A and B are shown apart, each in its own frame.
Chain A
Amino acid sequence: MGFAFGYPLVQVVRESFYAGNFASPIWVGLDNYKGVIADPEFHTSLLNNLKLLVAVPVMLGLGLLIALVLNDRIRGGRQYQAIVFLPYVLPATAIGIAFSFLLQQNGVLNTALRSAHLGVLAQDWLGNAHLAIVSVGGLVVWQQLGFGVVVFTAALLALPPETAEAARIDGAGWWALQRRVLIPQIRPIIELLTVIQVITVLTWVFNYVYVLTSGGPGYASSVMELYIWRSFSNGANGTAASVAVMLLGMASVLIGLSLWVRRRAVAT
């Protein structure tokens, strides 16, 4: 265990204090960290990761809503569930490539909008610096939504039917039943999924960004993972390692925080 997990971690931390290539590293102390902290591209990347966190409540909210509706045993519920889940099983790279064509200025989406006399809504989704990260967030929501729906549906199906039945007999309406009876019972799952999705948008969005925008235009949609990759692929291993250490620190804090919240919730 120590070798499999500990050794790479120690190496990454060690590497963050060196410049140059692996063959002839040059000790630079904290210079990599100082350089990264002073780098506007890193600020943009970090900010974009934080912006993408907005996708988490959207994913969870929509996922929960769909799961609650499907839980009512509506006609064709399983088919709907399969449709919603489908994007999740598709490779992010393939989806990214498809969307990179769909979202071009004269791509399928804008052409359709113009044909429907909604040209005012047609935007340069990938070429506009303000919209590029929004497009990435939209794609993340589109693909990850199915996972939330499946997890929430499974959690709802596992609940004992008696409580919901009792609430109905007591005259609870649909909304009250969901809000006061079902959602509170799956709260631990919601919390768990929140943590998973927060970690996902912090550390697992590279594929989407790389294929859809490559972090552009300029660095407008860059994220920390892309910053790490770009540094590493430029041979700036020390810089890449220092950002990886920072990212690891952030993820560790978030995981610690979530564990603390969980413990507190269980205790109360």
Chain B
Amino acid sequence: MARKHVLAALGAVLVLSAAIFASSAASKPAGVVADDPNNATLTYWYWGEDDAPGATNWIKKEAAAYQTAHPKVKIKIVIQSTDTLTSAFTTAAQTKSGPDIATQWATLPVLTPAWNGSSVAISDYVPASETKNWIGTSENLSGGKLWAMPQYLLGIPFVWNKAMFKKAGLNPNKGPKTWTELLADAKKLKAAGITPFGMGNKDGYGGAWFFSLIGKQNLNSIDELKAAMLGKAKFSDPKFSGYLQVLADFKKAGYLNSDVASISFPQGLQLFGQKKVAMSWVTDGNVTAAAKALGGAKAMGVGPIPKWGKGKLASSYDTTQSSSAFITSWSKHPKAAAQFLVFLHSQQAMKNWYAATGVFPADKRFPASLVTDPIAKQQLALDLSPVSVWPENFVPPQVDGNADLAAGELITSGSGSPADAVKLWERELAKWKAQHPDEFKNYTKWVSGG
């Protein structure tokens, strides 16, 4: 009898809950909430610190300043971590709930949510008179619309420690220009008891950078990589996968830090500034941080990535807008979100950004006169190189996570050969097509100009 009562009570609770849900849903249909740009609560999933140390403090200060100027707007900044940046948003997008503004890396991580209806085109909310000033918007165009706002330029220069070069009997003012020169320098550095090159790859991003910086160098255009993603060219072709052997040889020669497989990518970025390695490639923001630690331009050299391949992209530089901000399709305040994003491109916000990070805003209105440091001037010149591309942006996020990152880990941990890594790439490309027929269709359409 008692059991019957309990069951009846549970049933009543369920019916009541369903009724409450139904009535609340009926009383708040989508679109009824007014989208007042000056009266909204926004949640912003933000990422940037690993690219540009100081970014997190900057966004918090800007949000505070914006709220002071707009008392009815509340902005909640939720900091995201590197290794879950894509997966966390993909998971949120499954249920169409989460932030009003999200951060993703440029191109496919931005366009994939756009294609599956998780974001709205920012060009629908921000006038062209504003977006024309943003740099790198071509990375986030699809279907004739712009899907995200670039915040900063992320250049990846090659850096070397002059004192260590001198100690190894090398010319401290001449960094390697080709891969052959780099290997020769590495040999001398190793002989002098110095760890030649530093990076972290426990999470796979070190290997992914190797793919973007070295792997692209046999390509004549990024369209060739897109064709490989679609299966129109074989990834096993050394044109695409040759970089894996280079990485394997580099590791085998003992030119990488011994803990490359057990430290994270952000930890690896710190090695150069900590004087633990003689050479590395780091983000603009980390160059600034390293320069402070090492003693400025006199102590370190900055230049483009040494040339390895023979394709046209071997001469391209490596700048991307890196992280891009976009408005989610479920946000009830897209106008308020867009207004805040535009505020982040205001003169004052950009000046604050540069002062906080030493990284250049992705905006033509940023006054170059603010750049006075000799290393920073070099970086800016490199970042504004006419041809610049970041191949990882063109790899579908699932393939990037499951193949690009994992393939490098196989090599740096010594647990797999380049051939194993190539098989992994091919397997994951096939898996992506089978698991995401819709994404594959959209990618195909995008490649053909859609």
Contact = CB atoms under 8 A, between A and B. Distances in A.
Interface in B46-97: 83-84, 86-88, 90-91, 93-96
B90 A218 contact: no
Interface string B179-205: 000000000000000000000001110
Interface string B257-290: 0111111000000000000000000000000000
Q: Which 10 A-B pairs have the closest CB atoms?
A: A127-B261, A129-B415, A233-B87, A217-B413, A105-B259, A127-B262, A217-B409, A236-B435, A234-B398, A218-B410
A216 B91 contact: no
B437 A20 contact: yes
Given A20-B437, A216-B204, A236-B435, A104 B262 contact: yes
Contacts of A35: 431, 434-435
A3 B427 CA distance: 39
Given A3-B14, A217-B412, A234-B435, A126 B261 contact: yes
Interface of A: 1, 3, 19-24, 26, 31, 35, 39-41, 103-107, 124-130, 213-214, 216-220, 229-239
B91 A233 contact: yes
A218 B116 contact: no
Contact of A218 (B96, B415, B435): B415
Contacts of B437: 19-20, 26
Contacts of B90: 233-235
A107 B202 CA distance: 14
Given A105-B261, A106-B258, A234-B87, A217 B438 contact: no
Interface centre among B258, B262, B414, B437 (most CB of A within 10 A): B262
Interface in B392-417: 397-398, 401-402, 406-407, 409-410, 412-416
A20 B401 CA distance: 18
Nearest to B438: A20
Contact of A214 (B117, B203, B416): B203
Most chain B CB atoms below 10 A, which of A1, A213, A216: A216
B91 A232 contact: yes
Contacts of B427: 39-40
Contacts of B259: 104-106, 124, 127
A236 B415 contact: no
Most buried by A among B14, B90, B407: B90
Contacts of B88: 233
A126 B409 CA distance: 11
A76 B204 CA distance: 47
B406 A216 contact: yes
Interface in B231-266: 258-263
Interface of B: 10, 14, 83-84, 86-88, 90-91, 93-96, 116-117, 202-204, 258-263, 397-398, 401-402, 406-407, 409-410, 412-416, 424, 427, 431, 434-439
A214 B413 CA distance: 14
Main DSSP-derived SS at the B contact region: helix
Nearest to B397: A234
Given A26-B437, A26-B438, A129-B416, 8 more contacts: A21-B116, A31-B434, A105-B262, A124-B262, A126-B202, A220-B413, A233-B90, A235-B436
Contact of A216 (B93, B202, B263): B202
A125 B263 CA distance: 11
B413 A235 contact: no
B258 A235 contact: no
Contact of B116 (A23, A31, A104, A220): A23
Given A40-B427, A216-B204, A126 B262 contact: yes
8 contacts: A19-B436, A23-B117, A35-B435, A41-B402, A126-B261, A218-B409, A218-B415, A234-B397
A40 B430 CA distance: 13
Contacts of A24: 438
B258 A105 contact: yes
B241 to A, nearest CB: 16
A51 to B, nearest CB: 15
Among A20, A24, A126, A235: residue with most chain B CB under 10 A: A235
A229 B87 CA distance: 9
Contact of A19 (B10, B14, B202, B435): B435
A24 B93 CA distance: 13
A39 B403 CA distance: 13
The residue among B90, B258, B402, B435 with the most chain A CB atoms within 10 A of its own CB is: B435
